[in-house]
Structure 1
């Protein structure tokens, strides 16, 4: 999750894509996205809307942790510039992570505010 948080804060989609499973499904407040293309499109739209975003994950709890699967829940927060004005937000997240070819990848993400 820390690697995912750091990749998100780098604002370089090429750092985030390798961390997402091909068959991933993400649920965001603005809709549901299936597969890497839809998910990266949603992430890129958010990046274009929120300039200089700083995204943080806190209160991380691993509720399932096996050799090939993990589930966590956490609180997230963000700050940035929207329409030229400072903005911020926060919410809750749940992620399902799977190990594929020796690498942990996001299989599902659910963010809610």
Structure 2
């Protein structure tokens, strides 16, 4: 069982930190189709971290032991003023995990 937590820190731009934790009792293997591990979206597509980026087409795998976590980060360098909602999602093929947070610029 994976649990996600998302934080947004605004300081000129916005830095997102998406922490994925294995909250289960067994190790979890995560398989990725390319070099991207997570994606970040603000306000249902106002901004998406992966837009316009190319990722190496290399299969990847990470294993999380019980209680272990991994943090993925992204930056929105030129955010729009206002109150926003961000969503982060894990891009593993066989496991779903996402988290949301609200923040203000």
TM-score range, shorter-chain basis? under 0.3
Larger relative contact order (C-alpha < 8 A, sep ≥ 6)? 2
TM-score (norm 1): 0.25
TM-score (norm 2): 0.27
Structure showing the higher helix proportion among its residues: 1
